[in-house]
Amino acid sequence: MSEPWYESQGVSMKEAKTAVSNSWFCKELCSQENTFESNQILATNIRELNDGGGFSYGMGRGNPRAGCRPSKPDEATLLCFAASNATRVTFETLRRNNPDWNQVLNRIISEELEREHSKFNGFGSHRGFYTFSFRPICKTLLARAVVEMWALPTLKRRLGSYACAWIEQRFAPGGQGFEATALHFDELASASECYGCRQGLANQQSHVGVGGCLGDDE
């Protein structure tokens, strides 16, 4: 008796990319507008990225992991944990914060599929892909989208605003940076003057010689 097609036929890269691109998050992100309900579901999905409740295991009697040293979380787990702390993220802010969101989305999809494919040199059968790979890929995709489309642009923008304010305050007339720069300029200007200039001498010969502003008479 032959196996069902979904157990015997493998998933190609093209099929996997189509499946992930048609996932709920990707379709909503690519929509022209989103409903309030969609953004509420997005917020719930972001919170549930950390469905493990963090990295520490409970300690105590009856806990099978009691006394065991927790394993070091992998990159995907750390990423999901970081993204799960994001608040006030909507599909609109994801698109607005990163004007190249469509290119970023396609890049993330391709990179995550390549990563998954390299683990076992393929995606396995249709049943295996949708049972073991599809959900983790979509989960990591959401986490990376939150970090790369929302968190990083927001952080960069705020750091840029803070830096501009700091520069304006420090180097405004009377500011510490302004006074230090003015003093440094005066020192450079004084060092570049010859002896005659520093002494204010009108005699031309006082400005001639080694280091003189009129050159060396030799």
pLDDT given at position 83? 87
Q: What is the DSSP letter of 125?
A: B
* Look-up of token digits 């003057």: 193
Same domain, 87 and 195: no
CB 94 within 8 A of CB 154: no
pLDDT, average across residues 150-157: 84
pLDDT, average across residues 122-141: 93
pLDDT given at position 165? 59
Distance CA 10, CA 127 (A): 9
Same domain, 162 and 197: no
Same domain, 51 and 115: yes
* 116 pLDDT higher than 70: yes
Confidence of residue 191 (pLDDT cuts 50, 70, 90): low
Same domain, 180 and 108: no
Same domain, 14 and 48: yes
Query: Has residue 61 been placed in a domain?
Result: no
* 171 SS3 class: helix
pLDDT, average across residues 150-171: 68
Tens-place pLDDT, residues 53-92: 444 433 334 444 445 555 667 777 888 888 888 888 999 9
For residue 68, what are its two tokens?
A: 């065991």
Could you tell me the residue range of the domain that residue 42 belongs to? 5-55+67-171
Mean pLDDT (the chain, rounded)? 77
Same domain, 104 and 49: yes
Same domain, 185 and 95: no
User: Who contacts 6 (Cβ-Cβ below 8 Å, separation ≥6)?
Assistant: 125, 126, 127
Number of domains in the chain: 2
pLDDT given at position 47? 92
Instruction: Give, rounded to a whole angstrom, the gap between the first and last alpha carbons of the chain.
Output: 107
Distance CA 21, CA 1 (A): 35
Tens-place pLDDT, residues 18-61: 999 999 999 999 999 999 999 999 999 999 998 754 444 333 34
- Percent of the chain at pLDDT > 90 equals 43
